[in-house]
A and B are shown apart, each in its own frame.
Chain A
Amino acid sequence: MNLRAELAIIGRGARMQQRVIGALIIRELGGRFGRYYFGYVWLFIEPMLLGAAIGLLHYWRDRPTAFGPFEFFAIGYILFFVFRGILNRAPSAIPGNQALLYHRHVTLPDIFFARHIIECIACAGVLILMLFGLYVVDGSIPESPIKIAAAMALMALLSQGLAFLWASMSYAVDVAGRFLQAITFLILPIGGLFFLVEWLPVWAQEIMLWIPTVHIFELLRDGQFGSRFRAIYDLYYVAGWIVVTHLLGLAALRITRQRIGLE
């Protein structure tokens, strides 16, 4: 087969996958919220409400610092919500959608891609809305929107790799899914949402920098107020996590796919 023919096959495959994911997104949106349009609004309101609540809590409680506590916590929470939203839904992704595999060009990763795209669009929308809101209220502009967007993308990719793995695990062992709720809750205080690495003693910095989300939060804060503190992060480390979790996760999904007994 010559190169052109091979490219044509790849192109056809890509178009088909695009079609499948598009169809899945529309189906997921219609199904997740039932028949009420308020559901679509909830998609945006949930992260916004939680983010704003945490932001306001700190705004009232904290002593004034170099950073607006609302900006620090509310925006940070949106990033955490990407992680939480993708991972908490992972265990239900396969059992809830396996009947779709009867359509032979629907694959397990497609089902995840569709859900993750929805999650990302909702959170990106809220993020933009909040940043715009902050600009209107006190004229603050993030120093590097590119870094904020990059942090968002990295968080989504990391969550996606972990979601592949977690979904496969909880398909094999039912209780694994229940542990996850606890784990995403436990990672909240140490994931990087509530602190800057700079604030920690050196020995604690070294420990915390093993956690990939800490690097991503540092990147976010670098984008928000980079010149006002020393951001400490290593994007190669995060990229390593993303690549490894994707490779392992996709392999796990492949094994899971063979074990799925469709009824």
Chain B
Amino acid sequence: MSLELINVHKSYPMISGRKVVLSGANGHISRGEKIGILGRNGSGKSTLVRMFAGVEAPTKGRIKCSMSISWPIGVSAGVKPTLTGEENARFIARLYGRNEKRTVEFVESFAELEEYLRMPIMTYSSGMRSRLSLSISLAVDFDCYLVDEALAVGDTRFGRAFAERIERSGLILVSHSPALVRRLCTRAAVLDQGNLTFYDDLDEALATYNAL
């Protein structure tokens, strides 16, 4: 089970010409691997995340995916503000064919929302929102979690619990922060000017990135 990039090209039209995000990327990410993808702002990280998530197609080439990959953690993937946290958890459980009761129980024990779980999402603080969506995604139990840097896996009780839980699954962390990648990943790739280069050695990747 893996995610495989085969000669993947991606570009999109701009006012003048096309913006190239990827020009012929190849790579292989196995199940359970923790890989960081480093890129400067505007290098096309978010586009890459959407391609890994399977919601945006490459312009050319193929992405072969034989493991389950989460939606990008940190985006509000269709969470409805008028529904309660519990209802949103149930929705995701139904969508992914998971047991609703167990999903809600997991979110209850993990998200630290207390009675807010039964309140509409629009009453939540932004921290509560992100804890809810993280907990729901952990409840679905994917082979690999796709995490956009926006996520603050900070040094809080929840942040540590999240890092610990993610130990047991794969991780694709797209970030511009070398420190975060060093903390959570064992391998890394660098995205720069359309080139996605994978490094088996984490230090080599970080050095390349820092030299950019």
Contact = CB atoms under 8 A, between A and B. Distances in A.
Contact of A19 (B71, B79, B90, B94): B94
Given A31-B80, A104-B71, 18 more contacts: A19-B95, A22-B94, A26-B91, A26-B94, A27-B83, A27-B91, A99-B77, A100-B78, A101-B55, A102-B53, A102-B55, A102-B77, A103-B78, A103-B95, A104-B55, A105-B95, A106-B78, A106-B95
A262 B95 contact: no
B94 A103 contact: no
B95 A23 contact: yes
B91 to A, nearest CB: 5
Given A19-B94, A20-B95, A99 B75 contact: yes
B21 to A, nearest CB: 13
Contacts of B120: 35
Interface of A: 16, 19-20, 22-23, 26-27, 30-31, 34-35, 97, 99-106, 258, 262-263
Contact of A23 (B71, B77, B94): B94
A34 B120 CA distance: 9
Contact of B82 (A26, A35, A100, A258): A35
A263 B87 CA distance: 23
Contacts of A262: 50, 55-56, 75
Contacts of B76: 99
Q: Point out which of A20, A26, A102 has the most chain B C-beta atoms below 10 A from its C-beta.
A: A102
Contacts of B82: 30-31, 34-35
Nearest to A33: B82
Interface string B72-113: 100111111011000100111011110000000000000000
Contacts of A30: 80, 82-83, 87
Contacts of B75: 99, 102, 262-263
B83 A102 contact: no
- Determine the main DSSP class of A at the interface with B: helix
B54 interface: yes
B91 A258 contact: no
B55 A27 contact: no
A102 B71 contact: yes
Nearest to B12: A261
A262 B12 CA distance: 13
B57 interface: yes
A22 B90 CA distance: 12
Contact of A104 (B54, B79, B83, B94): B54
Given A27-B80, A100-B78, A258 B57 contact: yes
A185 to B, nearest CB: 29
Nearest to B120: A35
A102 B94 contact: no
B119 to A, nearest CB: 10
A31 B83 contact: yes
Interface string B50-69: 10011111000000000000
13 contacts: A19-B95, A22-B94, A26-B91, A26-B94, A27-B83, A27-B87, A34-B82, A99-B76, A102-B75, A102-B77, A104-B53, A104-B55, A105-B95
A16 B57 CA distance: 21
A25 B55 CA distance: 22
A22 B92 CA distance: 11
Contacts of B83: 27, 30-31
A100 B71 CA distance: 10
Contacts of A99: 75-79
B132 to A, nearest CB: 15
Contacts of B97: 16, 19
Contacts of A22: 94
Contact of B72 (A16, A35, A97, A102): A102
A102 to B, nearest CB: 4
Contacts of A34: 82
